[in-house]
Amino acid sequence: MHEIDLVRLNFSPASLVALNFILAFVLFGVALDMRFEDFKGIKTAPLATLIGLLGQFVMLPAVAYLLVLLLEPAPSIALGMMLVAACPGGNISNFLTHFARGNTALSITISAFSTIGSLFFTPFNIAFWGSLHPGTAQILHAVSLSPMEVVLAIVFLLGIPAASGMAVAKRYPRFAERAHKPFKILSLIVFGLFIVGALAANWKYFIEYVGRVVLVVFLMNGLGLLVGYWSARAVGLSEYDRRAVSMEVGIQNSGFGLVLVFDFFNGMGGMAIVAAWWGIWHILSGLALASLWRRRTPVAAG
């Protein structure tokens, strides 16, 4: 057992309830800009959608596991890597794809299916990959993680807010059109301030241990972006589509990962710091890559 595995971040029950509601608030705001028609995108781009989902729910978790075997981090850091890799795509992936001049419609389609797919694949990947490693299996056994409890958490934290936002957008399209941008910005600001406050309350732990997760997060995020891009290229997708798939695979919903850490793992230090640093780093890496791509018009953008 490593020292970081014993660290428990300072997070009150009231703060946890607030975090759950804020995440739901964020997802509702994001969903105001989604339509049920987004799911029909699979008819026009079935292969690209499938590659994106395989990258998110199969290839990235496998990459995380291989990195654990290669780098041998502390068990709580290893499980944090597996948990983040098991999460659905991040809320900013659509914006980053658009900024990178990629296929935003494809990005939205993959995000929509990713949110639904997380009901099964997130608990499955955490349980499956976590059970293969002795250190992480010990943590899962100690907390008696129930996949059904994770499914219920996903339903309440992702499924219901997303469905509600989409239903409001369908029933009141004018309101949704006017409200989705300010609502999304406000919700992300509130979420960001909450995370900053949580980090401030645990600043000593964050500063002391963040150095231990910088390399693993850098490698996993970079490999996720590469796996998405090169798998899309391998099946003959255009540059326009590759950029979308890359962002969807490499950008994960680490905020949701943080909620799972506090809901089911009592704020275990290594896991929480991986999720928190991922939330910071993937924005920086995503913006850097999108800025690079933005300079070049993608081939076959039609």
By three-state DSSP, how is residue 193 classified? helix
Lowest mean pLDDT segment, chosen from 22-26, 268-272, 286-290: 22-26
Tell me which residue has tokens 């499956």. Answer: 128
By three-state DSSP, how is residue 14 classified? helix
State the amino acid at position 95 in one-letter form.
F
What is the predicted pLDDT for the residue at 5? 63
Lowest mean pLDDT segment, chosen from 17-26, 126-135, 150-159, 229-238: 17-26
Over residues 47-65, the pLDDT tens digits come to 999 999 999 999 999 999 9
Q: How many helices (H) and strands (E) does the chain have?
A: 17, 0
Over residues 1-47, the pLDDT tens digits come to 566 766 666 666 666 677 777 777 777 877 777 766 666 666 778 89
Please state the separation of Cα 1 from the chain's center in Å: 27
What's the whole-model pTM score? 0.84
What is the predicted pLDDT for the residue at 148? 80
What is the predicted pLDDT for the residue at 119? 85
pLDDT at 144 over 90: no
CB count within 10 Å of CB 253 equals: 29
Lowest mean pLDDT segment, chosen from 113-117, 173-177, 184-188, 251-255: 184-188
Give per-residue burial for 195-234: e unless 16+ CB within 10 Å, then b: beebbeebeebbeebbebbeebbebbbebbbebbbebbbe
**From residue 26, how far is each of 136, 159, 174 by CA, in Å?**
30, 12, 20
**First-to-last C-alpha distance (Å) of the chain:** 53
In residues, how long is the chain? 302
- 13-294, CATH topology level: Na+/H+ antiporter like fold (1.20.1530)
Single out the residue of 194, 203, 176 nearest to residue 36, CA to CA. 176
DSSP state of 156: I
pLDDT at 302 over 60: no
Tell me which residue has tokens 């219901």. Answer: 160
pLDDT at 193 over 80: no
Tell me which residue has tokens 């004018």. Answer: 174
The residue ranking higher by pLDDT, 301 or 261, is 261
Task: Determine the Cα angle at 270 with ends 265 and 274, to 5°.
Answer: 105
Q: What percent of the chain clears pLDDT 90, i.e. is strictly above it?
A: 34
Lowest mean pLDDT segment, chosen from 20-24, 37-41, 180-184, 228-232: 37-41
- Tally of CA atoms within 13 A in the half-sphere of 254 that contains its CB: 23
pLDDT at 301 over 50: no
pLDDT at 234 over 70: yes
By three-state DSSP, how is residue 91 classified? coil
Tell me which residue has tokens 């230090």. Answer: 269
Single out the residue of 229, 225, 221, 239 nearest to residue 51, CA to CA. 229
Q: Under the phi-then-psi rule, with left for phi > 0, alpha for psi from -120 to 50, and beta for the rest, what region is 236?
A: left
Please state the separation of Cα 41 from the chain's center in Å: 21
